[in-house]
């Protein structure tokens, strides 16, 4: 089970966007990378194609390592733990003890 999931709100704790918050757009468990909405923007030179007829320079979000973000629960950054409740494993906020989801 993953600590960070798609659509979670996270706060970036390291890197050039440190302190910014955003929604997780995607998570890759194999490389342990997350893409956060509006953060870690890079410029990409794109060829014309079906999606972008004109091509040119576009700005898009690049992946961050998952260790550089913290989950936000009730607006507070917190670490994530796990607990078994009613026979299923659930995520728990370490700061408040509140079940996440």
Kindly tell me if the per-residue pLDDT of 53 is higher than 90. Answer: no
Q: What is the pLDDT of residue 1?
A: 60
What is the pTM assigned to this prediction? 0.86
Beta bridge partners of 33: 28, 65
- Per residue in 15-40, pLDDT tens? 999 999 999 999 999 999 999 999 99
Domains in the chain, start-ordered, CATH in brackets? 9-75 (2.30.30.30)
- Per residue in 80-95, pLDDT tens? 999 999 999 999 999 9
């Amino acid at each position: 089970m993953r600590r960070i999931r798609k659509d979670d709100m996270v706060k970036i704790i390291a890197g050039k966007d440190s302190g910014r918050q955003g929604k997780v757009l995607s998570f890759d468990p194999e490389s342990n990378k997350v893409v956060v909405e509006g953060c870690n923007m890079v410029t990409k030179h794109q060829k014309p194609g079906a999606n972008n007829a004109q091509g040119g320079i576009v700005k898009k979000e690049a992946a961050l390592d998952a260790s550089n973000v913290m989950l936000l629960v009730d607006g507070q950054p917190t670490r994530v733990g796990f607990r078994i409740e009613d026979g299923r494993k659930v995520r728990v906020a370490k700061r408040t003890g509140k079940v996440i989801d």
